[in-house]
Amino acid sequence: MKGKIILKWISNCISTLFIVLLVCVVFIVISSRAAGGEASLFGYQLKTVLSGSMEPEMQVGSVILVQLADENDRFKSGDVITFQTKDAILVTHRIIGVENDGQRFITQGDNNNGPDVEPVLAQNIVGKYSGWTVPYLGYAFHYANTKQGAILLLFIPGLLFLGHAIFTIWRTLRLIEVPKRSNPKGTID
């Protein structure tokens, strides 16, 4: 009897885990698609690190949390910012110099030998690095933003959840049929 209670508890935990995983993946994929590639929640965005310019603090393939900038933000030397280049590429580097009363910034990657060629204009700053990094998760996020990744990350958790639901229903039906098998001759007690 105690074993059945433990199995039921494990089954409930697995079901809950599948539901939570499916809801999280659906939220990430749909919000990423709706936002044009980057999900935003409570003024923060997750960004994937694609180069080693900020190593060792930000490893390639990491996910970083960036607090979105607004017009009232003031940035100073030492801040790590995410900005858009004139080629519409997002870059995260450290401010090493401030010019024109905070309207232009000289930036440099921590792992680079010299400053970036172009100064960053204040209006091109997307946000400020919050200091939160998760190594290797960026590979999954980057893949989730592809068409194949979105399909796979929605399909697999859904398929696992469906398989678990079918197994649970089958097990329940088997338990219902057990009393019928216990009376083999069909006699009425």
The string of pLDDT tens digits covering residues 137-153 is 878 777 777 778 777 77
Tell me the angle at which helices 2-34 and 147-181 cross, rounded to the nearest 10 degrees: 160
* 17-50 pLDDT, tens digit each: 877 877 776 676 666 666 555 656 677 777 888 8
CB 153 within 8 A of CB 141: no
The answer to pTM > 0.85 is no
H/E run at residue 81: strand 80-84
Q: Which DSSP string corresponds to 23-73?
A: HHHHHHHHHHHHTTS--EETTEEEEE--SSTTTTTS-TT-EEEEEEP-TT-
Q: What is the mean pLDDT of the chain?
A: 79
Q: State yes or no: is 51 an active-site residue.
A: yes
* 88-131 pLDDT, tens digit each: 888 899 999 988 877 889 999 988 998 988 898 888 888 898 88
Closest C-alpha among 135, 67, 80 to residue 110: 80
**Active-site residue, from 31, 51, 77, 130:** 51
What percentage of residues in the chain have a pLDDT greater than 70? 84
pLDDT confidence band for 161 (50 / 70 / 90): confident
* Residue-level pLDDT at 38: 60
- pLDDT higher than 80, residue 178: no
* Residue-level pLDDT at 94: 92
Give the torsion through C-alpha atoms of 132, 59, 154, 21, to 10 deg.
Answer: -40
* Residue-level pLDDT at 41: 64
What distance lies between CA 11 and its chain's CA centroid? 26
Q: Tell me the chain's radius of gyration from C-alpha atoms.
A: 26
| Residue that wins the pLDDT comparison between 22 and 188 | 22
* Residue-level pLDDT at 54: 87
CB 130 within 8 A of CB 148: no
Three-state DSSP at 184 gives: coil
